[in-house]
Amino acid sequence: MSAYFPTAEVKLTTPEDAIVDYLWGDRMIAFGHCRVCGCATGWRPAPGHDQGRVAINARLFAPEILVAAHVRRLDGADTWTYADEQN
């Protein structure tokens, strides 16, 4: 489960060397994981490829943040709309 945010709204507070990036394919997205435990932390645009958003692994959020989160479900198989937008 990922949470998506505008790039400008996200600030990493961990030391830079705590997260290791992995790039593959077209090398436009850097997938991060913890250098110590290997847990996926999310993804961000690779340098020079800012798409305007980042994804954070929401399983890493504190419970009080998750309880307050607004969850949206996207129908990516058929209508490409969010369930809360369908009539």
Number of folded domains that form the chain: 1
Specify the pLDDT at position 10: 87
Q: What is the pLDDT of residue 87?
A: 52
Domain holding 26: CATH number? 2.170.150.70
- Per the structure, the complete domain to which residue 55 belongs is given by 2-85
Least Cα distance to 60 among 6, 19, 7 occurs for 19
Dihedral sign for Cα 41, 42, 47, 50, please: negative
Which has the higher per-residue pLDDT, 50 or 81?
81
* The model's pTM: 0.71
40's enclosing H/E stretch is: strand 40-45
**Residue 30, CA distances (Å) to 1, 7, 20, 23, 37 in order:** 17, 13, 9, 5, 18
Q: Are 39 and 30 in contact (CB under 8 A)?
A: no
